[in-house]
Structure 1
């Protein structure tokens, strides 16, 4: 456990030094500000209620879950795997006392922390703007739970990118293929709605199941099991490729 903790701290330190972190925070901040300006302008000057009966925080979460969250997650995952193999910096990590399993776990934990941090930043900002736009927040507990639920499908996408990064030859191919897979899954959910529930991309907004007057616990649990199955398979496949990859 101490070795995993040391690897995790090392990976978090490396992430903190990446310019992409600062860029992602700036873009997330700007996206929430722009969304707030648009909603405020439409509400006060055009008389159009953009958010309707829902909260501004939920609207922002829905937009970012299909755009910036997956994009920034893909960047970080590719940098931590395909990027380090491409520039051979992975040698310094793998030649240390930590096993490949510990290194892999440390990297995955760091990615999970990055995703959670993005969600927390957006949640705090959107809550503040909700107070300004709506004068208050109805059902704050449900909104907090929504942001917690949003973590899992984004994390599953991260494991997908990790898998792709471990068999790709470079960062560009890993990024292009990750985007291709994401678009294919989204396209399949639209073209074949009968299989939509089995595609993890269709669960990016599964938190909406708790926002209505009726909460379908059975459906939520079924989606959770599907996502858990994706996570176990992707984690195992990603680690297998990571273990077999030459440095």
Structure 2
């Protein structure tokens, strides 16, 4: 257990030392604040009330889960696996007295922690921006924000596990990142022409946080989506570790 904790701490530290991760973190904070100020000026200038303070963080979450956070997840998975393989730094982790499973699990866990940090940053930025918009804030609004941003974690985690699985087939971070983005775009676009794809792709549930909002929660639908995303995480994690364990370094 101590070796797993040490490996996880090392992986989190490596993510924290990358300047591009800090850049994306600052962008996650700045984008909702800047957009909120612009929207507030636009609405006050034209006398419109398109977006209220209570709705803004939920609207921003849809933007983050649809584009910005998946991009970060793909970059993180590509750097942790294919990037380190291409840089010949993966051997440093595997030469320590720790199993390959613990190395793989700690990388996945570090990516999950990073997703939580980015969601928290997005929530903070959106909450600050909501103060510039019209409409009074209620306790129920704040609870909805916390629930929605918390619910967004699971589909993003499933996306991260899928990206890590895909990264096992590439020896460079750029190749893995490009493949992840292309596959993501293909799945999202393909769902418009073949709606049945939504039943088999975790990308179709990036907005499942909307199910958690409202007075009556569709418990059956939430439960079925949760089981599907959890199954995706387990299966893709197992398959990803299989190829990671067999990979020659």
- The number of equivalent residue pairs is 247
Native 8 Å contact 2:57 2:127 kept in 1: yes
- Are 1:123 and 2:112 counterparts? no
Higher relative contact order (CA 8 A, sep 6+): 2
Deviation at 1:39, TM superposition (A): 2.1
Deviation at 1:54, TM superposition (A): 5.6
The TM-score, its normalising length taken from structure 2, stands at 0.94
Structure 1: stretches of 5+ with no match in the other structure: none
**TM-superposition CA deviations, 1:142-199 (whole Å, max 9, x none):** 2201101101111111111101111113222111110111011112222122342332
Aligned CA RMSD, in angstroms, stands at 1.6
The TM-score, its normalising length taken from structure 1, stands at 0.94
Distance change >3 Å, CA 98–CA 50, structure 1 → 2: farther
Deviates more, 1:133-142 or 1:35-44: 133-142
Deviation at 1:30, TM superposition (A): 2.3
1:2-17 alignment, distance < 5 Å: 2-17=2-17
Deviates more, 1:97-106 or 1:45-54: 45-54
- State the secondary structure of the residue aligned to 1:48: coil
In 2, distance between residues paired with 1:148 and 1:203? 14
- State the secondary structure of the residue aligned to 1:212: coil
1:55 match: 55
In 2, distance between residues paired with 1:182 and 1:135? 38
1:214 match: 216
Deviates more, 1:184-193 or 1:229-238: 184-193
Native 8 Å contact 1:60 1:126 kept in 2: yes
1:231 match: 233
1:22-33 alignment, distance < 5 Å: 22-33=22-33
In 1, distance between residues paired with 2:18 and 2:44? 40
1:81 match: 81
Deviation at 1:50, TM superposition (A): 3.2
Deviates more, 1:150-159 or 1:20-29: 20-29
In 2, distance between residues paired with 1:241 and 1:46? 57
Deviates more, 1:209-218 or 1:113-122: 209-218
- State the secondary structure of the residue aligned to 1:246: coil
Native 8 Å contact 2:81 2:168 kept in 1: yes
2:109 match: 109
2:137 match: 136
Deviates more, 1:114-123 or 1:182-191: 182-191
Structure 2: stretches of 5+ with no match in the other structure: none
- Are 1:193 and 2:195 counterparts? yes
2:157 match: 155
